[in-house]
A = this chain, B = another copy of it.
C-alpha cells in the first residue's frame, strides 16, 4: 500500500469518526432540548398569541409579530431530537409510538410546522391572528393527542 492510499484511508476513517462524533446524541440532552424548545414555544404561542386571540391580553401588532416569528423559528428545531436512541434517558412525555411509527409522527409534526409558518403574516391583523391561532392549536393538539403522554415516564 503506498503512502497516498494510506493517507486517503486515514483521512476517510478520521472523517468517519468525526462525523459519528458529530451525530452522536446524548439521549438526556436531546430530551431536555426538545422539552426546552416546546416550553419556549408554549409560553410564546399560548401565553402571547393564544392570550391575544382569546382577548385575555390586548392585541399589539409588534408583540404579536415578534412572538409569531420566534415560534416559527423554534418550531422545527426539536424535530431532530426525536431520533433513534432518544426514546428514553430522562423523564419524558414522548409516547413510544413516536419511534414505532416515525412516518405518522413526522406527518403530525410537519403539519404543526406548516401552520406555525403562517403565524408571522397572520399576526399583523388581530382577526387573521385569531383564525391562525385556532388552526395552529388544532395541529398542536392533534400531535399531542396522538404522541404525548399525560404523565412523565422514565
Contacts and interface: CB of A to CB of B under 8 A. Distances in A.
Interface of A: 22, 32-33, 35-37, 39-40, 43, 57, 66, 69-70, 73-74, 77
Nearest to A37: B40
Number of copies: 2
Chain A interface main SS type: helix
A124 B57 CA distance: 37
A83 to B, nearest CB: 15
A73 B77 contact: no
Listed residue (A35, A40, A74, A77) with the most chain B CB atoms within 10 angstroms of its CB: A40
A70 B70 CA distance: 7
6 contacts: A35-B36, A36-B37, A36-B39, A66-B73, A70-B74, A73-B73
Contacts of A77: 40
A40 B74 contact: yes
Contacts of A36: 35-37, 39-40
A46 to B, nearest CB: 12
A62 to B, nearest CB: 13
A91 to B, nearest CB: 13
B40 A33 contact: yes
A150 B24 CA distance: 26
Contact of A39 (B22, B32, B70): B32
A43 B32 CA distance: 11
A36 B36 CA distance: 4
B69 A22 contact: no
